[in-house]
Structure 1
Amino acid sequence: MIDSQSVKADAVVGSDSRGFDGGKLINGRKRHVVVDTLGLLLGVMVTAADTGSLVEHCPAALALVLAIVERGDDTRGFVVLPMRWIVKRFFAHLMRSRRLARDFERRTASTEAVIYWSMTMVMTRRMTRSRPTRA
C-alpha cells in the first residue's frame, strides 16, 4: 500500500524543499510511504508538499507498478477503502515519535532516515513483546 502524509515544516527547513499542500492547507513537506500488508515499511520518499512525483518514483526506485484506487462516483460520505487502514496505522506509529510530529530536518534525506529509524523501533518492539503461552 502506498499513501502520503503532509506535515508542517519547521523554520529551519529551506524554501527549496518546502511546498504548500492546497488540499490540506499545510506549508511543509509530504511523506510518501510504501508498506506491506503487515504495515512494515518498504520505502519512503520525502518531497515538498506541492510535488507529486510519486508516480514516476515507484517504477524507477522500487520496481512497483502504481495502481490508484479511487472511490466510485456514486459513493457518498466517508468511505474507508479496503486495506487502507494498514497505512493509516503506520502513520499513527510515526506520529508517536515526537521528532516526526513536525518536520525539523534541513534535508529530505535526513527526514527519510528518521522515518526508517522510527520504524526500526516499532519492528523491534513487535519482535520482543511477550506472547501468551499456550496451556
Structure 2
Amino acid sequence: MSNSSRGFDVGKINDRGRHPLADTLGLVLDVLVTPASTTDRDAARILLPAGKERFRRLARVWTDGGYTGHLTDWGGPASGVALDIVRRSDDAQGFQALPRRWVVERSFAWLLRGRHLVRVCERRTDTGESTVLWSVTRLMSRRLAARHQLGPARAA
C-alpha cells in the first residue's frame, strides 16, 4: 500500500478512514476513503456536496461530534440540507447508544462481516471505495433475493 494513501490518525495508527453516507435504513449510498490523517470535517466537505448532487432528495444529515466546526456553515438553507449533530451528553458515563448514530455503526458491522474489508489491502483509495460499494451491492442483492424466495404471501 502506498504511503500517500495512508496517514496517521490521532491514535497514531497508520491506516485509512472510511466515511460513509448512509440512508435511514443504514444502506451505504456513497463512501469516501481517505488517509487516516484527514479529519472527519474535511472528508465531509467533499462527501456531502457530492452526495447532494447525486441524491437530490437528500434533505437531512445526522453526524456525530467529529463533524462540528466549519462544516456547520455548509448545512442549512444555502445547501438545502439540514445538518443535525448528535452529541453525547456531558454527564454520560460508559456506553450510550446515540439516536440515529447506531444506524451507521450497524452498517459498518454489516460491511465488516465480509472479510475483505477487515484489512486494508488496496493501494489506491478509489479501489477502497469500490470495495465498500461492492460489499453494499452484495448485501442488498442478498436481501432482495431472500425476500423473493419467501414468496409474496410471506414477504408482507
TM-score class, shorter: 0.7 to 0.9
1:17 aligned partner: 5
Q: Using the TM superposition, name which of 28-37 and 83-92 deviates more.
A: 83-92
Measured on the aligned residues, the alpha-carbon RMSD in Å equals 1.8
Please give the TM-score of this superposition, normalised by the length of structure 2: 0.70
Counting matched residue pairs gives 121
- Once the 2 structures are TM-superposed, how far is the Cα of residue 119 of structure 1 from its aligned partner? 0.5
Alignment CA distance shift 1:83-1:59 (3 Å) = closer
Distance 2:9 2:34 in 1: 11
Higher relative contact order (CA 8 A, sep 6+): 1
1:131 aligned partner: 150
2:33 aligned partner: 46
Of 18, 33, 40, 1:31 maps to 18
Alignment CA distance shift 1:123-1:59 (3 Å) = closer
Q: Which has the larger radius of gyration?
A: 2
- Once the 2 structures are TM-superposed, how far is the Cα of residue 126 of structure 1 from its aligned partner? 0.5
1:70 aligned partner: 87
Residue 118 (structure 2) pairs with residue 118 (structure 1): no
- Once the 2 structures are TM-superposed, how far is the Cα of residue 26 of structure 1 from its aligned partner? 2.5
Distance 2:49 2:103 in 1: 24
- Once the 2 structures are TM-superposed, how far is the Cα of residue 38 of structure 1 from its aligned partner? 1.2
Distance 1:74 1:83 in 2: 20
1:108 aligned partner: 125
Distance 2:113 2:90 in 1: 35
Q: Please list every run of at least 4 consecutive aligned residues from structure 1 whose deviation after the TM superposition is greater than 6 angstroms.
A: none
> Percent identity at matched positions?
47
Alignment CA distance shift 1:59-1:116 (3 Å) = closer
Distance 2:105 2:23 in 1: 12
Instruction: Please give the per-residue CA displacement for 1:18-60, whole angstroms capped at 9, x wherever unaligned.
Output: 111224x521100000111111111100000010112312442
- Once the 2 structures are TM-superposed, how far is the Cα of residue 85 of structure 1 from its aligned partner? 2.0
Q: Is the 8 A contact 2:86 2:101 kept in 1?
A: no
